[in-house]
Structures are given as C-alpha cells and as structure tokens.
C-alpha cells in the first residue's frame, strides 16, 4: 500500500523590525534558505535608475543536499490594521512599485552551500508621485513531480521568501498621530491596543514604552522603550500587545509613550485598566438528587 506524506513548509523572511534593518540577514539554519537584504529602502528621484543585488543563501541538511529549482516573481504588499503582512498581485495597489522593477535571473537552479545573486534594477518613471512605493521580490521553489515508492514516506520542503522594497520618491513627509488607547484585562494578563496613524507619504518607525500604575501611582508593570512595527504611509494600525502578568483586582492607569520619529515631541496616551476579581466557583454535589 502506497503511503505518501507531503509536507509543505513556507518561509516568509519579511523583516520589519529594528533588528532587521541591517543589510545582512541571519544565517539560515540547516535545511533552510535566506535572502539578504530582506528590505531595501531606496531614496530616488523621478527618472532615475539603480541596480541592487539580492543574495540567496541555500543550506540543506545532509539527506536533502541536492540542487533545487527556484523561480522569482513580483508582488505588491502592505501591512493590515493589526500589523500582519498581506501580499497582492503585482501592480494592483495604488502605491505599487512592481512595474518599476526588473530582475534576473527569473528562474535558476541553486546548489547547497553556494550563494546565488539576483540582480534587481529599479527605474523610477518621470511622472512618479512623491512618497513611498512598495514591491516585494518573491523567491520560491518550483514544484517537483512526486515519485511514488512502495511502503515509503516522502517529505517535500518548499521555501517561499520575500525581499521587500520601499522606493522613496521626491519630497517625503512623516506625520504620526495617536488615535486612541484601549486596555483590557484577561486570563493571566492584559492586552493594550494603541491606535496609531501616519498622515504622511512615507513610512515611520516609532519607538514606544508602556507603564502600568496602581491607584497609588506606583508602577506594577513596564515595557521598556523599543521600536514598534512600522506605520506605512497614509495608514493606521491597531495592533494588540499582550502582557502576561496577572494583576490584583482594582483600577490601574496605563501610560503608552510613543515617539513617532517625525521630528515632533513624544506623545503619551493614557487610559484606565480595570481588573475584576474572578467569580467564585460553585462546588457541585457529588451525589445526584434522588428521583421523587
């Protein structure tokens, strides 16, 4: 009896945090692929052109150490309101830069232990509007034909990676704004959701910190200042942040301090967090009632 186990593993290397702003990606683990850089931010003028190189590093486990066929393509992308990456067909979004990118090779065979290069030429049209224009170079493994083997299992590992592009054209503006701040208690902790906006035409990468104070003004929970997810041009986010710390029943004050890195002073949002005592459990009788 033929037994076939197909496992498809998709890896998205989309680095959007501060730690991923360097030009080199982390070394891949055995049996993995990586792209470097994972992000390009190119300030360009209308009518200008430049060429960059994306490096593909393929390392395979000993039992999978064979060349694989990869294919490149372009996608549009964005961040949705809760901070998740979404991909779209090329040239379908208003801020798309996909039509500005040409890459080579479009398809090739990569061998383990050898770094492969994909050249990407960016040509900005003369009529390009000011602001950020986005695109993603997608690298994925071409599907192979499965060969059935008697009484055997086959494991197929496929990779899909992305190197994202911000093409920044003309006069760039960044305008962060604080919409609202919500705090809600739950089992084992609480969730804070800041609603943040960017009214400018270029991405901002804020830094933020959190302090939770009790009724006497004493801090009971803190999150040190760190870079948040970026806020794309002309967009808003409301990404929940879960803090796994139980608090005693009572009313607390949450302070969310954010620096939009747009040349203006930091803003502090304040809201209340109400933690209620858990409802008492009612013990059930072990002896069922007698029937009349």
Q: What is the 3-state secondary structure (H, E, C) of the chain?
A: CECCCCCCCCCCCCCCCHHHCCCCCCCCCCCEEEEECCEEEEEECCCCEEEEEEEEEEECCHHHCCCEEEEEEEEEEEECCCCCEEEEECCCCCCECHHHEEEECCEEEECCCCEEEEEEEEECCCCCCCEEEEEEEEEEECCCCCCCCECCCCCCCCCEEEEEEEEEECCCCCCEEEEEEEEEEECCEEEEEEEEEECCCCCECCEEEEEEECCCCCEEEEEEEEECCCECCCEEECCCEEECCCCCCEEEEEEEEEECCCCCCCEEEEEEEEECCCCCCCCCCCCCCCCC
Minimum mean pLDDT range among 5-19, 152-166, 238-252: 5-19
Residue 156's pLDDT is what?
Answer: 57
Pairing between β-strand 68-79 and β-strand 131-141 as defined by DSSP bridges:
antiparallel
Mean pLDDT of 114-130: 95
Contact in structure between 10 and 161 (CB atoms under 8 Å): no
Mean pLDDT of 73-80: 96
pLDDT surpassing 80 at residue 149: no
Residue 142's pLDDT is what?
Answer: 78
Residue 21's pLDDT is what?
Answer: 32
Minimum mean pLDDT range among 1-10, 136-145, 259-268: 1-10
pLDDT confidence tier of residue 152, bands split at 50, 70 and 90: low
Pairing between β-strand 160-169 and β-strand 39-44 as defined by DSSP bridges:
parallel
Residue 59's pLDDT is what?
Answer: 78
Q: For residue 10, give both structure tokens.
A: 């998709």
Mean pLDDT of 170-176: 95
Residue 205's pLDDT is what?
Answer: 95
The residue that leads in pLDDT, 174 or 142, is: 174
Percent above pLDDT 90 for the chain: 65
pLDDT surpassing 70 at residue 151: no
Mean pLDDT of 152-173: 82
Mean pLDDT of 34-39: 92
Mean pLDDT of 256-281: 90
Residue 285's pLDDT is what?
Answer: 53
Minimum mean pLDDT range among 94-98, 141-145, 251-255: 141-145
- Residue 152 CA to residue 165 CA, distance in Å, equals 43
Residue 154's pLDDT is what?
Answer: 56
pLDDT surpassing 60 at residue 6: no
Residue 62's pLDDT is what?
Answer: 55
Averaged confidence pLDDT in the chain = 83
Mean pLDDT of 237-252: 94
Mean pLDDT of 133-155: 72
Minimum mean pLDDT range among 46-55, 137-146, 249-258: 137-146
pLDDT surpassing 80 at residue 158: no
pLDDT confidence tier of residue 182, bands split at 50, 70 and 90: very high
Mean pLDDT of 41-51: 97
Mean pLDDT of 64-81: 88
Residue 32's pLDDT is what?
Answer: 74
């Amino acid at each position: 009896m033929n037994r076939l186990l197909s496992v498809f593993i998709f890896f998205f290397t989309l680095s959007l945090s501060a730690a991923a702003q360097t030009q080199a990606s982390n070394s891949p683990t055995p049996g993995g692929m990586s792209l470097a850089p994972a992000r390009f931010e190119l300030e360009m003028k209308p009518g200008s052109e430049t060429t960059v190189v994306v490096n593909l590093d393929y390392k395979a486990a000993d039992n999978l150490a064979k060349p694989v066929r990869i294919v490149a393509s372009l996608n549009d992308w964005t961040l949705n309101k809760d901070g998740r990456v979404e991909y779209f067909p090329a040239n379908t979004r208003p801020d798309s830069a996909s039509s500005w990118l040409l890459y080579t090779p479009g398809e090739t065979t990569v061998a383990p232990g050898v770094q492969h290069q994909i050249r990407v030429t960016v040509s900005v049209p003369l009529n390009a509007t000011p602001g950020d224009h986005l695109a993603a170079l997608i690298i994925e493994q071409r599907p192979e034909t499965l060969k059935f083997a008697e009484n055997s299992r086959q494991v197929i590992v496929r990779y899909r990676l992305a190197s994202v592009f911000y093409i920044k054209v003309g006069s760039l503006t960044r305008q962060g704004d604080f919409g609202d701040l919500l705090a809600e208690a739950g089992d084992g902790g609480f969730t804070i959701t800041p609603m943040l906006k960017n009214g400018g035409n270029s991405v901002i990468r804020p830094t933020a910190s959190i302090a939770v104070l009790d009724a006497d003004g004493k801090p009971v929970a803190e999150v040190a200042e760190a870079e948040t997810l970026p806020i794309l041009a002309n967009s808003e986010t409301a990404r929940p942040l879960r803090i796994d710390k139980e608090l005693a029943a009572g009313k607390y004050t949450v302070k969310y301090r954010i620096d939009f890195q747009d040349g203006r002073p930091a803003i502090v949002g304040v809201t209340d967090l109400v933690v209620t005592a858990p409802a008492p459990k009612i013990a059930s009788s072990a002896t069922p009632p007698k029937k009349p």
